[in-house]
């Protein structure tokens, strides 16, 4: 029996509005996600799932990717400074609550510049207090 488990996030698109970070770690659990708008890319990342409260950020992300980029995906996009700065601002406005087992404390997410070319609708590389991860949300297609 395999110790690997696969979880497809929102397989039928019926979960409503949601925003999560998958923190990359060797857990044996792989989260799968359709992302990239109408490009319908399939992603997979091993780690642990952290639900995020961020209705305003989700609205801003959906505006950027679904309206401004027309839902066609941005994988390997060159990210001009104005759009990159806007993405930084949106990501930086999202609180990630880290807990050391005793105390919980909010930290701003950071866009992972070293992986900016991977950034796409519903699949944004970020840095959390717990390590690198991916910010994911419901894909628009």
* For helices 55-62 and 81-92, angle between their N-to-C axes, nearest 10 degrees: 160
| pLDDT band (50, 70, 90) for residue 13 | confident
| pLDDT band (50, 70, 90) for residue 2 | low
Residues facing residue 134 across a β-bridge: 22, 125
Residues 39 and 22: their CA atoms lie apart, in Å, by: 21
| pLDDT band (50, 70, 90) for residue 76 | confident
Of 100, 88, 87, residue with least CA distance to 129: 100
């Amino acid at each position: 029996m395999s110790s690997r488990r696969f979880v497809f996030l929102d397989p039928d698109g019926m979960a409503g509005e949601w925003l999560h970070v998958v923190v990359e770690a060797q857990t044996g659990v792989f989260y799968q996600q359709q992302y990239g708008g109408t490009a319908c890319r399939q992603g997979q990342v091993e780690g642990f799932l952290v639900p995020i409260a961020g209705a305003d950020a989700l609205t801003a992300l959906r505006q950027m990717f679904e309206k401004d980029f027309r839902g066609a995906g941005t994988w390997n996009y060159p990210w001009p400074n104005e759009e990159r700065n806007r993405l930084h601002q949106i990501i930086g406005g999202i609180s990630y609550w880290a807990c050391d087992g005793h105390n919980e404390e909010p930290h701003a997410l950071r866009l992972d510049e070293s992986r900016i070319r991977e950034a796409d609708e519903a699949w944004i590389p970020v840095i959390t207090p717990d390590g690198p991860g991916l910010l994911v949300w419901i894909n628009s297609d």
